[in-house]
Structure 1
Amino acid sequence: MKPVIRVIIPAFNEENGVGNVINEIPKELVEEVIVVNNASTDDTEKVAGDAGATVLREPTKGYGRACLKGIDYITSKGNTDIIVFLDADYSDHPQEMYQVVKPIIDDKADLVIGSRALGQRERGAMTPQQVFGNWLATSLLRLFYGVRFTDLGPFRAIRYDRLMALEMKDRNYGWTVEMQLKAAKLNLNCTEVAVNYRRRIGFSKVSGTVKGTIMAGYKIIWTIFKYI
């Protein structure tokens, strides 16, 4: 029986990228694409709607907040097997969703991380601080939680029921690492697949600023120690 897959795309001022992302998602694979407009001041909402996505509004900024809004909506639908998370900036390759969900469909994993470290990265797609931050965070996860990851990549898939068991709380930069460490604590079957990564469309609101980089790095490390 074909699993019901829904995609959540948090989006803050991504009018130039979100349409490309939606259009390249394999439509035969997914039941619904949900874009959460996270306080955008541009035409993100219109572009996403025109591309065929279900558009939700989360007026308070925060990556985790947007993801939680999407999860609440999916819970109200009541018939989802797998949730895929994907960024709206067109840095990931949406057509690689097949390989991201395959370990779950094959009943070999509960959580699959699309690893940029294992795939091919376009030059300049990740800043040096992003590369270092991922290395540090995954090293701490291995040290304190005994789980081996190579990335905190946003392109990921998880069984819906397992996601609900994680009781996700983080409302901003700690979202991805919270999911991975909680999965480790609950002994979920976690794996990674290689995904390719390119320069994003537009300007990064996190890694593109010193303030954003520092805040994200601090929150990720704080989250890792919080749940030990």
Structure 2
Amino acid sequence: MNSKIKVIIPAFNEAQSIPLVIKAIPSIVDEIIVVSNNSTDDTEINAKNAGATVLAEQQKGYGYACLKGMDYISKLEIKPDIIVFLDGDYSDYPEELTKIVQPILEENMDFVVGARTKELREAGSMTTPQTFGNWLATSLMTLFFRSKFTDLGPFRAIKYHKLLDLKMEDKTYGWTVEMQLKALKQNLNYREIPVNYRNRIGVSKVSGTIKGAIFAGVKILIWIFKYSFK
């Protein structure tokens, strides 16, 4: 029996990139869910025309969009086996989804993170604050939890029932680190898979602004220290 795989793509004003992302997703995926996070451009119509299920989340925030996608899935009669999270800016290589889900399908891993390793990153694709933030967050996770994570990459796959067990709650910038911290606390079997990473289409809503970079960094640290002293 083939595993059912659904993809959740949070998207805010990604009209230009979203059709490219959807087109590049392998056919093993059962459904592509694009959550328009209060977009003001043609993100929604372009995603729908490309064949995705389109949801609208008016409350701005990466976590809000991801939770909207999960809420939609929770109401389906037939639940998926695996959920993949993927950004809508075309910085990830969607065709590498098969690499991301392979350890779950073949080795019974619970959780897989696509690691944006330096040798596979296009020049300029990650800003200095992003690189430093990743290093700091993963170093702290190693220090406090003996983690083997090296990245907070958004391209990730997780067994659906394990995702539900995490009881995700962050609404904004802390979504990725919350998932990894809770996976560590719940002793999930996890792995990182090196993935390619390129310069995104358009301007980043987080790392592309001083405010976004600061808030993301603060949120990451809050989650880490919250779980370190539980």
User: In the aligned structure 2, how far is the partner of 1:138 from the partner of 1:182?
Assistant: 14
Q: Distance in 1 between matches of 2:45 and 2:89?
A: 16
Give the Å deviation of 1:16.
0.9
Q: Does 1:76 align with 2:95?
A: no
> C-alpha displacement at 1:148, in angstroms?
1.1
Please give the TM-score of this superposition, normalised by the length of structure 2.
Answer: 0.97
- Matches of 1:131 and 1:79, distance apart in 2: 36
Distance 1:37 1:17 in 2: 13
The match for 1:13 is 13
Q: Write the letter of the residue equivalent to 2:36.
A: N
CA-CA distance at 1:210 after TM superposition: 0.7
Which residue in 1 is equivalent to 2:114? 114
Matched, 1:63 2:33: no
Aligned to 2:114, the other structure's residue is in SS state strand
* TM-score (normalised: structure 1): 0.98
Distance in structure 1 (CA, Å) of the matches to 2:119 and 2:24? 19
CA distance in 2, matches of 1:49, 1:70: 15
Amino acid at match of 1:13: N
Give runs of aligned pairs for residues 152-167 of structure 1, distance below 5 A: 152-167=152-167
| Contact map agreement 1:118 1:194 (CA 8 A) in 2 | no
Q: Which residue of structure 2 aligns with residue 23 of structure 1?
A: 23
Please list the CA deviations of residues 23-43 of structure 1 after superposition, one character each: whole Å capped at 9, or x if unmatched.
00012x110000000000111
1:65 touches 1:171 (CA, 8 Å); kept in 2? yes
What SS does the aligned partner of 2:120 have?
coil
User: How far apart, CA to CA, are the structure 2 residues paired with 1:135 and 1:208?
Assistant: 18
| Partner deviation per Cα, 1:57-112 (whole Å, 9 max, x = no partner) | 10000000000000111111132100000000000000000000000001331000
Equivalents in 2 of 1:55, 1:130: separation in Å? 29
CA distance in 1, matches of 2:9, 2:206: 16
Q: Post-superposition shift, 1:184?
A: 0.4
**Are positions 1:207 and 2:207 aligned together?**
yes
The corresponding residue for 2:42 is 43
Unpaired runs of 5+ residues, structure 1, are none
The residue identity in structure 1 corresponding to 2:68 is K
Partner Cα distance (1:125, 1:106) in 2: 31
2-structure distance, mates of 1:227, 1:191: 20
Aligned match of 2:138: 138
Matched with 1:91 is 91
Corresponding residue for residue 54 of structure 1: 53
Aligned partner of 2:172: which letter? N
Cα distance, 1:165 vs structure 2:
0.3
Single out whichever of 157-166 and 144-153 deviates more from structure 2: 144-153
Size of the alignment, in residue pairs?
227
**Amino acid paired to 1:151:** D
In structure 2, the gaps of 5 or more residues are: none
AA partner of residue 59 (structure 1): Q
Q: Distance in 2 between matches of 1:221 and 1:100?
A: 26
